[in-house]
Amino acid sequence: MSALYERLMRVAAPEQLLRGEPMAAHTTFRVGGPADWMFFPASEAQLLAALDAAREAGVPAMVIGNGSNLIVRDGGIRGLVIVLGERMSAVRVDGEIVSAQAGAPLGRVAAAAQAAGLTGLEFASGIPGTLGGGCAMNAGAYGGQLSDALLDARVLLDGAVRTLTRGEMEMGYRTTLPLRRGGVVLEARFALARGDRDAILARMRELNARRREKQPLNFPSAGSVFKRPEGHFAGALIEQAGLKGAAIGGAQVSPRHAGFIVNTGGATAADVLALIAHVQREVLRASGVRLETEVRVVGE
């Protein structure tokens, strides 16, 4: 690990590298053990240098955003966690094109579009993820998804940085080519349409009000835990199985929205994963539908 530290210090400042950092502080579920090392790059060049440094030092590396779709096991993560956050979060508007770096919160990207009188990203204003992770999984809400507006994306894929068009991204329901092949979205551009600023803002406020009314935003969570099964809604299947409010340790199926599992206080990753498995078993028994997780599970 000292070899990794020495290599990273050639390209970054000491405050950009943390040792033994709890992953619970970097996931919206607020669970997860420590990462051996955590690095916050300030540029694409630093990100690539960090990945090279980890490879040269024989240390496994993982890239994350704000951890909104991530469950880290209680043993933490061995190796290097690279966080694409505030240091890589620039958002630019050029005509009807909105560009954003991977660390930009989706809400900020949507707000920049609204301020410029551009419509097409209203649905994203309340999604808690960052641009990189959201684009990699084709995040969506309220009938919209990022593939509806994506023009192209800069992606680190198979060791090379490439610009992929929307078609080349192969975007489906909560999946893309980079996600399936372990790529990292570095930046993306969205082609939007002119609209009325006030009408766009009103739509964003309406969707966020609906979100506050129906979703358990007062507790830590990773949003919707399960993918939508074909012909069904995960939350409805979970509720029909009598699981609303079911709990293991500090993890609970939200009484407000059964599609969410929340941390009511002091939950461990083991609690969350045990509850997910319980929900999957009971829903399969009750309905014959096998729920697939939307969240990513990593660590020891």
User: Over the chain, what is the mean pLDDT?
Assistant: 96
Write down the CATH number for the domain with range 217-298.
3.90.78.10
Q: pLDDT tens across 139-165, in order?
A: 999 999 999 999 999 999 999 999 999
Please, what is the end-to-end C-alpha distance for the chain in angstroms? 18
Topology of the domain comprising 89-200: 3.30.465
Residues tagged active-site: 174, 224, 294
For residues 102 and 129, give the distance between their C-alpha atoms in angstroms, rounded to a whole number: 10
Instruction: Domain ranges for the chain, please list them.
Output: 2-86, 89-200, 217-298
CATH number of 2-86: 3.30.43.10
Distance CA 188, CA 90 (A): 11
Task: Render pLDDT for 90-109 as a digit per residue (tens, 0 to 9).
Answer: 999 999 999 999 999 999 99
pTM here is: 0.93
